Amino acid sequence: MASSKRPRLAVWKFASCDGCQLSLLDCEDELLAVADAIDIAYFMEATRGKISGRYALSLVEGSITTAHDAERIKEVRRRSDVLITIGACATAGGIQALRNFADVKEYTSIVYARPDYISTLATSTPIADHVRVDFELRGCPISKQQLLEVVSAFLARRKPVTPAHSVCVECKLRGNVCVMVAHGTPCLGPVTHAGCGALCPAYDRGCYGCFGPMETPNAPSLSGWLAGLGMDKRSISRVYSTFNTDAEPFREEKERHGT
């Protein structure tokens, strides 16, 4: 039986692939320690059981893509003391936000045999566009270490400590050779929020921007570097058209070089 003395945790899914929820399950031994300090009252990815009522902490994965979900997130907010969004979908609309630059009706008419059965919004938007969010945890998927830090900070009633610097700093800490300077490989590392440990550059690949824009990124400057590597405007636009395409700095660069 759940202890009434422990805070209740709820994990909610909206339009997403479930990858960020799986990051929580991937915590394994650490998750057991969390479970000793908090009641996991609602988490459909892990259990069919649920406890109704209010939740001390809600983790929300996914973007808002339907009118039904736009109403459902308001109910989640009403029932949550603290609401934290996790992942690129919840914080920036996700890769599905590519619909924001296209005609959704045209897509549905091509993909679905009966498009009249499809009920969806024209846009995919982050949770913060609809309700107040207490903290955003970025990534596609999120870092399980950062997730544990956020939950631990909640239990300790302090502000989470997550990095605000770019992936370039992670590269330097790891001793990576810069793939742009050494190999001419396009890389979003200079404008991307840290959190992955510079995984892709460590294997001589450019950063894809999975963790979204860092604080105060200079994306126009990076675009100038990418042009210097021989990329045309269409190619530069596509670089910003991935997991965090509707995050403001990435969206502006995408639109500046053509959608």
Cα diameter, the chain: 62
132: left (phi over 0), alpha (psi -120 to 50) or beta: beta
pLDDT value at residue 5 = 80
Provide the whole-model pTM. Answer: 0.91
Q: How many C-beta atoms surround the C-beta of residue 195 within 10 A?
A: 22
Of the candidates 111, 156, 151, 119, the one whose C-alpha atom is nearest the C-alpha of residue 135 is 151
Distance CA 58, CA 158 (A): 16
Of the candidates 222, 223, 181, 228, the one whose C-alpha atom is nearest the C-alpha of residue 201 is 181
Helix (H) or strand (E) holding 76: helix 67-78
Q: Is residue 70 a contact partner of residue 29, using CB atoms and an 8 Å limit?
A: no
Q: What is the pLDDT of residues 53-105, one digit of tens each?
A: 899 999 999 999 999 999 999 999 999 999 999 999 999 999 999 999 999 98
Torsion angle of the four alpha carbons 82, 87, 92, 93, in this order, in degrees rounded to the nearest 10: -100
Q: What is the pLDDT of residues 101-141, one digit of tens each?
A: 999 989 889 999 999 999 999 999 999 999 999 999 999 99
Q: Prior bond to 220 cis, omega within 30?
A: no
Count of H helices and E strands in the chain?
Answer: 12, 5
Six token digits for residue 135: 């903290």
Grouping H, G, I as helix, E, B as strand and the rest as coil, residue 15 is: strand
pLDDT value at residue 33 = 77
Residue 243: which pLDDT band, with cuts at 50, 70 and 90? very high
Residue 1: which pLDDT band, with cuts at 50, 70 and 90? very low
Q: Is residue 258 a contact partner of residue 231, using CB atoms and an 8 Å limit?
A: no
pLDDT value at residue 31 = 75
Average per-residue pLDDT for the chain: 92
